[in-house]
């Protein structure tokens, strides 16, 4: 490997794959589809019950970590890919390293992370078997204040804008755009 190869290689924590693509007419859970077209307002076929809070150009997509879902499940929350209302369930990316403004290439699309997702009461359906409300496991006062040192940073997901339309398939790579060759 030459010196230029290491410069163009993404940091391992910012390279992953799309485990599941999910859509719904609105609400949770969103259901798996094998592929979807991403456009500035989100995935084709996806809807939102509360468009004043979800969707639109700066919240076109919601990304959630598969590893975070698995940790929640291990702690007794009955969650699964799509359960938190995410459009893209991502495997292999350390969400604690995500920041607003980062651009990623995912399939044929390009996205830009905009803001942390603040979980709402729609996720109350997952609180019946665990002691702590799921919302507190996904978001806290530190995250709200922008403190990236909180252990729940981006655990509830990250919203993204679609900056380049494109087709996204289950299993495609997602990589920090600055490192894509």
Q: What does the pLDDT look like over 154-164, one tens digit per residue?
A: 999 999 999 99
User: Taking Cα atoms as reference points, which of 160, 181, 170 lies closest to residue 64?
Assistant: 160
pLDDT band of residue 110 (cuts 50, 70, 90) is very high
Q: Is the pTM of this model over 0.75?
A: yes
Q: Among 44-48, 81-85, 115-119, 148-152, which is the least confidently predicted range?
A: 44-48
**Residue 17 phi, psi (nearest 5):** -145, 160
User: Taking Cα atoms as reference points, which of 47, 46, 38, 26 lies closest to residue 172?
Assistant: 38
What's the average model confidence in pLDDT over 102-119?
Answer: 97
Q: What is the pLDDT of residue 18?
A: 98
Q: Give the Cα separation of 68 and 139 in Å (integer).
A: 12
Question: Using only C-alpha atoms, what is the Rg of the chain?
Answer: 16
DSSP run (H or E) holding 141: helix 141-144
* pLDDT above 90 for 20: yes
DSSP letter assigned to residue 155: T
More confident residue, 66 or 130: 66
Fold (topology level) of 3-179? M1 Pyruvate Kinase; Domain 3 (2.40.33)
What are 144-150's contacts with CB under 8 Å, separation 24+? Answer: 144/118, 148/96, 148/99
Q: Give the Cα separation of 146 and 153 in Å (integer).
A: 9
Structure tokens at 148: 């990236």
DSSP run (H or E) holding 166: strand 166-169
β partners of residue 168: 36
Q: What is the mean pLDDT of the chain?
A: 90
């Amino acid at each position: 490997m030459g010196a230029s190869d290491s410069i163009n290689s993404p940091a391992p924590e910012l390279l992953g794959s799309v485990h599941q693509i999910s859509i719904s007419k609105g609400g949770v859970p969103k259901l798996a589809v094998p592929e979807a077209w991403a456009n500035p307002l989100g995935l084709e076929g996806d809807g939102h019950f509360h468009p004043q809070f979800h969707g639109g150009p700066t919240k076109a997509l919601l990304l959630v970590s598969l590893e975070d879902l698995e940790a929640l499940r291990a702690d007794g929350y009955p969650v699964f890919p799509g359960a938190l209302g995410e459009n893209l369930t991502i495997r292999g990316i350390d969400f604690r390293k995500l920041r607003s403004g980062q651009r990623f290439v995912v399939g044929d699309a390009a996205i830009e992370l905009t803001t942390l997702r603040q979980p709402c009461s729609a996720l109350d359906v997952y609180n019946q078997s665990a002691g702590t409300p799921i919302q507190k496991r996904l978001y806290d006062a530190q995250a709200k204040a922008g403190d990236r040192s909180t252990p729940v940073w981006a655990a509830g997901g990250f919203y993204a804008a679609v900056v380049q339309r494109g087709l996204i398939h289950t299993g495609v790579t997602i990589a920090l755009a600055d490192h894509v060759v």
